Structure 1
Amino acid sequence: MAPTSETLTAERILEATEEVLRRHGPAKATVVDVARALGVSHGSVYRHFRTKAALREAVTKRWLDRTSEALSGIAADDRDPEGRLRDWLRTLFEAKRRKAGLDPELFATYRVLTDENGTVVGEHLADLTAQLTRIVRAGAEAGTFAAPDPEAAARAVFHATGRFHDPCHAHEWERPGVEEEFTAVVDLLVRGLRAP
């Protein structure tokens, strides 16, 4: 294979891997396909990712990190905790729904990959609940929320809203009335957190 004019980086490999996964799906996509898409030998890809599993784990982490990064700014904001909580949950729901709706092939692929990469998914979920904990803790410190254990409250909020961000519910996200259902759940949770 003729070398490409661009330097081969891990980021370029991950971009190409997404395209290959989109085209072939996780069952048929190979490192050779990724190398071919980049115009390099498969050995060049293995210099960056030692195994196919490592490549699949990295592309899964990259995909999940996009969601975490979009939410981290909301979690770090210093405005009122209730507004931040509502915005954070809405942004999570919209991000997941957008991924499922705009690129259903890749979304389906990532559902398979996240099942394979329990460590990466566990780290992602821990990051998301840490962000929520930050918001709930800020609310407790400001007297807005009655949450003696902000971490437990954040986990409860995360689990209670699972229907709106867990990929296993993706088929429900475009149904009529889902927006109203989301708002009702968030309103209920916020009322439950408010200090008396």
Structure 2
Amino acid sequence: MAPTTETLTAERILEATEEVLRRHGPAKATVVDVARALGVSHGSVYRHFRTKTALREAVTKRWLDRTSERLAGIAAEDRDPEARLRDWLATLFEAKRHKAGGDPELFATYTALIDETGTVVGEHIADLTGQLTHIIEAGTAAGTFTAVDPSATAHAVFHATGRFHDPCYAREWQRDGIETELEAVVDLLVRGLRADNS
């Protein structure tokens, strides 16, 4: 094992873990493989992540957070709530589709890891529905949307569009016409949300 000259950080460990997962898959990737890729002892990795499970949860959270952070910018914008809602849902779909199609091995790995990491996925969904709630609240305050309970409405919108972001539908995301199908669903949802019902 060659000594490393860079300071070992949690971020470096997570980057190396992602590469190891891409090469070996979740069933075969070990903390020793991660340590070897970094040129350190596995004990050095354990000083940052106490267990293999903690490391896998952290790398899964990092992967999911990339999508959340991208969407948070749209949710926080100060512009027409309907346009924001449309952009947010389209961006969510595109981010998920890109992950599935752009790096299928890593997508399959993360899909397997998600089944192992209970709280990470729940936190991710809570973050996303919180962003949607913010957009719907802004639309309600502006008189664009009618929503008695913006949080419940956000959850309904999230679940109604699940086919375009839930990994179990990933095989459908490359089909011709899938964008048109998403637009039709979003049009229907927006019409239902509009205060004037037009």
- TM-score bracket for this pair, using the shorter chain length: over 0.9
Looking at structure 2, the residues matched to 57 and 46 of structure 1 have their Cα atoms a distance apart, in angstroms, of 14
1:72 equivalenced with 2:91 (yes/no): no
Looking at structure 1, the residues matched to 187 and 115 of structure 2 have their Cα atoms a distance apart, in angstroms, of 31
Looking at structure 2, the residues matched to 35 and 175 of structure 1 have their Cα atoms a distance apart, in angstroms, of 40
Looking at structure 1, the residues matched to 38 and 2 of structure 2 have their Cα atoms a distance apart, in angstroms, of 10
Looking at structure 2, the residues matched to 51 and 149 of structure 1 have their Cα atoms a distance apart, in angstroms, of 41
Instruction: Give 2:78's aligned amino acid.
Output: D
Q: Which residue of 2 aligns with 1:195?
A: 195
Looking at structure 2, the residues matched to 108 and 90 of structure 1 have their Cα atoms a distance apart, in angstroms, of 22
Q: Which residue of 1 aligns with 2:85?
A: 85
**What TM-score, normalized by structure 1, do the two folds share?**
0.99
1:5 equivalenced with 2:17 (yes/no): no
Instruction: Give 2:132's aligned amino acid.
Output: L
Q: Which residue of 1 aligns with 2:19?
A: 19
User: Percent identity, aligned pairs only?
Assistant: 83
Q: Which residue of 2 aligns with 1:152?
A: 152
Alignment: residue pair count:
196
Q: Which residue of 1 aligns with 2:118?
A: 118
Q: Deviations over 1:103-162 (max 9, x none)?
A: 000000000111111101000000000000000000001100011111111100000000
Return 5+ residue gaps in structure 2 as ranges: none
Q: Deviations over 1:151-178 (max 9, x none)?
A: 1111000000000000000000001111
**What TM-score, normalized by structure 2, do the two folds share?**
0.98
Give how far 1:2 is off: 3.0
Return 5+ residue gaps in structure 1 as ranges: none
Looking at structure 1, the residues matched to 145 and 26 of structure 2 have their Cα atoms a distance apart, in angstroms, of 44
Looking at structure 2, the residues matched to 152 and 57 of structure 1 have their Cα atoms a distance apart, in angstroms, of 28
Looking at structure 1, the residues matched to 8 and 152 of structure 2 have their Cα atoms a distance apart, in angstroms, of 44
Computed over aligned residues only, the root mean square deviation of the Cα atoms, in angstroms, reads 0.6
Looking at structure 2, the residues matched to 91 and 181 of structure 1 have their Cα atoms a distance apart, in angstroms, of 15
Looking at structure 2, the residues matched to 177 and 84 of structure 1 have their Cα atoms a distance apart, in angstroms, of 23
Q: Deviations over 1:57-110 (max 9, x none)?
A: 000000011000000011011100000000000010000000011100000000
Q: Which residue of 2 aligns with 1:94?
A: 94
2:85 match: secondary structure:
helix
**4+ residue stretches of structure 1 with deviation over 6 A?**
none
1:5 match: secondary structure:
coil
Looking at structure 2, the residues matched to 3 and 56 of structure 1 have their Cα atoms a distance apart, in angstroms, of 24
Listed as ranges, the matches of 1:57-68 within 5 Å are: 57-68=57-68
Looking at structure 2, the residues matched to 179 and 122 of structure 1 have their Cα atoms a distance apart, in angstroms, of 27
Looking at structure 2, the residues matched to 95 and 31 of structure 1 have their Cα atoms a distance apart, in angstroms, of 29
Looking at structure 2, the residues matched to 150 and 55 of structure 1 have their Cα atoms a distance apart, in angstroms, of 35
2:2 match: secondary structure:
coil
